[in-house]
Each structure stands twice: as structure tokens, then as C-alpha cells.
Amino acid sequence: MNYALFIIFTNLTTALWQVVESRHNSYLNKLSVMKLLRILITGVILIGTGCAENKDAELVESWKVGASTGIMGDFSQESFIQLKVAGIDYIEMGPAVFRDKSLEERIAFVADIKEKADRAGVELWSVHLPFSRVQDISTLNDEDRENMIRECKEIFDLWQPMNPRKFVIHPSAEPIADEEREQRIANSIASLKILTEEMKKYPGSSLALENLPRTCLGNTSSELLRIVKAVGNGLEVCYDSNHMLQESPEEFVANLGSLITTVHMSDYGYVDGRLDERHWLPGEGIINWTKVISELVDAGFEGPFLFETSMRKPDPETSERARLSPEELVSCWHDLRFVYIESLR
């Protein structure tokens, strides 16, 4: 880019000097004028292109790294410090941390996590709300649906001492039969309208709907977009790169655009000829990460690049899966970022 600018301005300077040296410098001849215009237009185009490239690179370089708490072996102070030292600034709290805890135990747990995270300099970016066949905002069982909505409201309130930016929610569980799908979509929309209204009590937080695989609701960009538009009320999207089985991950990002405000990043691929979610480390599967990052940049996504993966691919001989380290996640992001920025040149 710098070399191109040098050539442009060298030619521009030469052309201007020729005009000045012209015997008829009081009347710029057409040739000189056209020459200047061509150079100026070329310069504007190249400078504009270069600025766009620089802006894209700067945006990606500004993304911080996040990770789901599955990467942590425990919730000790040392684990939080290890995250920060490795370069992970944000965490997403998993949905199981409140399981089998009383209200008093939940309050104490949040206070303990806040103290340790604050001391380490790690921030709570997001909280993943519970999900199961019972804890399902689309369920046809009205009592279960009401209980799930009540549970989500309680979780919103419990985590407020840590000021989470996002609460991530699934539009459904599975399996969903074709004949139930429309009613399940209607139930999901009705539940989300209640929860987005509740979210207004917490101005620093927002609700993000996650895309899902297989027969779940939101298994295509068009269906997820249909639900989000029907709900409105500030509902956002959590993009899970591992869940797009009916369209490419980059197509999903292109279709949802600026609605995507948080992400779950991991890779997927084929095992025994079957494509399904795998939650592998990015680069171990079939996702074209440069295309995904490019679409996120076009959508104005501001980060963080939040990993939702904690284990290695199974060993081909033993099938064992070793835990990834925080350093490996950060190194993976640096590699992805480098390849994307190189693609801009």
C-alpha cells in the first residue's frame, strides 16, 4: 500500500511540474488536465481501498479473546489468573454452575466468582442460560415452559453483580417433529417476548438467541431470523460456528449481519462420514475461518472472539480427549487473525 501511494504521488508531482513548465501555463492544456484527473482518481480509489483494508485489520486486531468456563479445570483463583496471563480477558459462564444449588448457595457462588475474576482482571462477558428437554422455552408443556422462564429471570438477577453483557439462550431443545415445529416456534417467540421485556430491568445486559443444529429451532439463518424479527424488543443473536449443518458458517453470518453481538467459536467436521457439531479447536475441522472473520468484519462485529471449546480432538488410537490450555486458545486466535490480515494484502 505504501509503495502504491509513493508511485501515485511521484506521478502526481511530475504531472504538476510539467504543467508549471508548460509555455502556456495560463491555459492548462487538455492532456495535462486529463492526466492529473486520472492520477487523482486512481489515488482516491487506492487510498480508499487501503483505508478500508487498514480499518478491517484494525477492527480484528481490537477483538479480545474470550472463552467458556469449560476451559477451566476449576474455579480457583489460580485458574482465573492463568486465563488472564494467557491473554483471555472475557469468560462465558456455563449453564450448569447453578445446578443443585439453593438460592443462598447461588448468591455465594456469584460473590466468590466475582471476587476471583476481579482480582485476576477477567470480566464476565456472557452467561449461558440452562437448556434441556425440560428447560426449553419452546416446550409444549406449559408448566415446564413457565418454570424455565422463571429460572431465566432469577439467573438474570443473580449475575447482575458481575454486569454480564450478554445472556445466551437456546430457542428450543430437540428432537422436534415436523408437525410440532410451528407451535414450538410460536412458544419460543412468546417466551422470548417475556424475557426480552424482563431484560429491560438490566440496561447493561441483553439477550442473545443462539443458532442450533439438527432438528432444533433456529437451525437455519432464515428460521432464526424469523424468530428474532417476530420477537423484536432488542433481541440479539449468538452465532455458534459449530451449529451450521444446512448452510455454511459464513453464509449464516452474512444473513444475520449486525444482529450478531456475541459468538461461540469452535470447529466441526465429519466423523465416520457424518457431519455434526464437534466443538473442535478452530482449524481442526472444515470451517473456512478467513471467510467467517471477513463476514463478521463486514457486519461490524466488535468482539470478543469467544471460544466454546475446551478439549482436543479424540486421539485416533485411544479416543481420549485431553484438555486444551488457555494459551492454546490464544495462540489459535493469533494464527486465525494473522491469516485473515494476510488475506487483505
Domain edges within the chain:
2-51, 63-343
- The tens digit of pLDDT for each residue in 189-208 reads 999 999 999 999 999 999 99
The model scores a pTM over 0.75: yes
C-alpha–C-alpha distance, residues 326 and 342, integer Å: 25
> For the residues of 50-114, what is the DSSP string, one character each?
HHHHHHHHHHHHH--EEEEGGG-SS--HHHHHHHHHHTEEEEEE-TTTTTT--HHHHHHHHHHHH
- The tens digit of pLDDT for each residue in 310-324 reads 999 988 888 898 999
Per-residue pLDDT band at 38 (split at 50, 70, 90):
very low
User: Of all residues in the chain, what percent are helix, strand and coil, respectively (each to 5)?
Assistant: 50, 15, 35
Q: What is the pLDDT of the chain when averaged over all its residues?
A: 89
The yes or no reply on domain 63-343 and CATH 2.40.10.10 is no
